[in-house]
Amino acid sequence: MLWVKSLHIIFMVTWFAGLFYLPRLFVYHAMAADAPSLERFKLMERKLFWGIMTPGAVLTIVFGVWLWLQWFKPATGWLHAKLALVALLVAFHVYLGVLMKAFARDANRHGHVFYRWLNEIPALPILVGVVFLVVMKPF
């Protein structure tokens, strides 16, 4: 089952990289002024979201469930906390999709500073929460 763990990690890293990069694209998109740049960012955002992030998210969840079912144990507190953080990341993923669609319709309502702050949001649940809970299993 080492291959399942390896694939899970690969898809998780892919998804997390997208969660960090898409808001950065939004920063540049919000600052762009010329039509070719605006269209380029729309294309990049769409390809990142649908071609990389979403498959990465789905496969991360699928392989995570598969791993959990292989070593089924009653859920402990750390697993509940980790699953809650993963649910927050899924909600953030969906919210990024909503923002991407607003950009695609030329209906963006936020400036680049908003997206700079948005770019920092996944750091807490990803780097602190999930990694800490998996490595330390504090409860």
Confidence of residue 104 (pLDDT cuts 50, 70, 90): very high
Instruction: Evaluate whether 42 touches 108 at the Cβ level (below 8 Å).
Output: no
**In this predicted model, which residue has the larger pLDDT, 75 or 46?**
46
**Do 85 and 129 contact (CB within 8 A), yes or no?**
yes
* DSSP string covering 22-68: HHHHHHHHHH--SHHHHHHHHHHHHHIIIIIIHHHHHHHHHHHHHHH
pLDDT above 70 as % of the chain: 93
Q: Which domain holds residue 10?
A: 2-136
Number of domains in the chain: 1
